[in-house]
Chains A and B, each alone.
Chain A
Amino acid sequence: MLFNRYRRGLFITSFLAAPVILYLIYVIAPYLQAFYIALTDWRGVTATPRFIGLENFQRLFGDSKFWQAVTHNGALLVLLPLITIVIALFFAFLLNVGGPSGVSGIRGSKFYRVVFFFPQVLAVAVVAVLFQQVFRPDGSGMLNGPLMALGADPIGFLSDRGVAFWSVLAVMVWQAVGFYVVLFSAGLASIPKDMFEAAQIDGAGRLSLFFRITLPLLWDTVQVAWVYLGILALDVFAIVWVMTLQQGGPDSATTVMAAEIYRSAFGHFRFGYASAMGVVMFFFTVGFAILSLRLSRRERIEY
């Protein structure tokens, strides 16, 4: 008996050992090292960084550019999930139960389902380069070409300070929506069809179907989507770095925390300072995770 228990434990441990060790080496250890590097003035090439205490953090609190980046992450954190979820829910509803009979999708829904998923298949860097062309400010731009042909002035989607941030948000939404349409579709599929039928017999229109049946029963899935999108909004980097002017510009109008960290480390060679930013970002992310776990604690609905 004891021997069996021992073997069983050994079996489990041997399976856990590999992932735990990998996790320790490649995730936990670098985190801890970042905390240490944040307390030094390391510039990346020396073998002996100098310990300077909390100086980097003091400097960080006066760094308006970093706080601008934090504001942008904050705005994305609110807007990206909101817009994406609203659009994705709308599409998922149309594709699955929005048809005239109420239990099937609108015409051609199978085709749309595939099309909506396309952006998700593309790598983020590809999307960024693609949209650079879409947003081009001259006649070759996909959006400005027709505008200019109609005699309007071209819009500086990426070069106008007031517009650039919204362009970034639009691209992120464009890329994310497809995945959440699929996620919500799966959620919808698990709702028994008779609920929709019963509601329809009671005379519910599409609108009340959506707000009284679909949304409440999908609430769990929506929460999951919210957390995923929140994380996406906090660690956004590639879209901003590749697509925007001056990597987060024009004039810092689209910069985000990850971009500032990269710039400090690999642009200005201030690895210590960049690590301090990373530590701050770490606490923002952990804060968001705790907050979202707290808020989403809710009873499940059993069918």
Chain B
Amino acid sequence: MEYFFELFFSGLTRGSIYALIALGYTMVYGIIELINFAHGEIYMIGAFTALIVAGVLSLLGFNELSILALAALAAVVYSSAYGYTIEKMAYKPLRKAPRLSALISAIGMSIFLQNYVLLAQTSDFLPFPSLIPDFHFLEPIAHLITSAEVVIVVTTAVVMVILSFLIKFTRLGKAMRATAQDKDMAMLMGVNVNRVISFTFIIGSATAAIGGVLIASHIGMINFYIGFIAGIKAFTAAVLGGIGSVPGAVLGGLVLGWTESFATGYVSSDYEDVFAFTLLVLILIFRPEGILGRSTTQKV
């Protein structure tokens, strides 16, 4: 039973991270119907920025908590900046082009960013400092769940609540929903569509960066390739929950996290990634609209 709970919590943590990255996918897809292939890379860049900032600050002798705060802030700022720039350069000129073109452009961006970090930094795995402090009140159940895991799960929940609030109740959220429904009509109603799309990319990238910092300090290792696999898995989570839906992304992330965790725990750990990919293929074949998504019929 203890093993079960261990797997349960590790699945919950994994799932939360997938959910944080999936939020970006789902929001971007909801608005411009593009799979932002470079989203995983934004997450990776967030983790690298945090690593670099934390490294510099720890040499300057800052204390742990301020390092965590500043590194996370830098990661969020830089990831958002990258997300914004990528949209302006690689997607905006293609908004009226066929969807295939934008997707190929996104794949190109992903390959470009991966190798840019590879060349500018290193191809080795870098040790990432564990920035999250240990909580004392967790000691009795420390063998089941670590404080880093608690922080990850709580952060995901908070981010999801904030995002849902933002989308439901603010002016920006209203503009986002309008743009998602009908871009041209929203424009006629005075919504600045370009700005809404930019904001969507910025918010999505920021959540990915938070995920990047949390997972990197939990696992303790990063390299330039982490974004690719994480990106595909987060995409799986987004599709699983129903792409375009914020609670769906979180639900999908959790389901995927548990699937992976239990499958590796009880079946075989060699095929960790195979389970995720198989799940993705199966959902897309049997229920492409996802758990919470609604199926749409194509109109002519």
Do A and B truly interact?
Answer: no
Interface residues of A (CB under 8 A from B): none
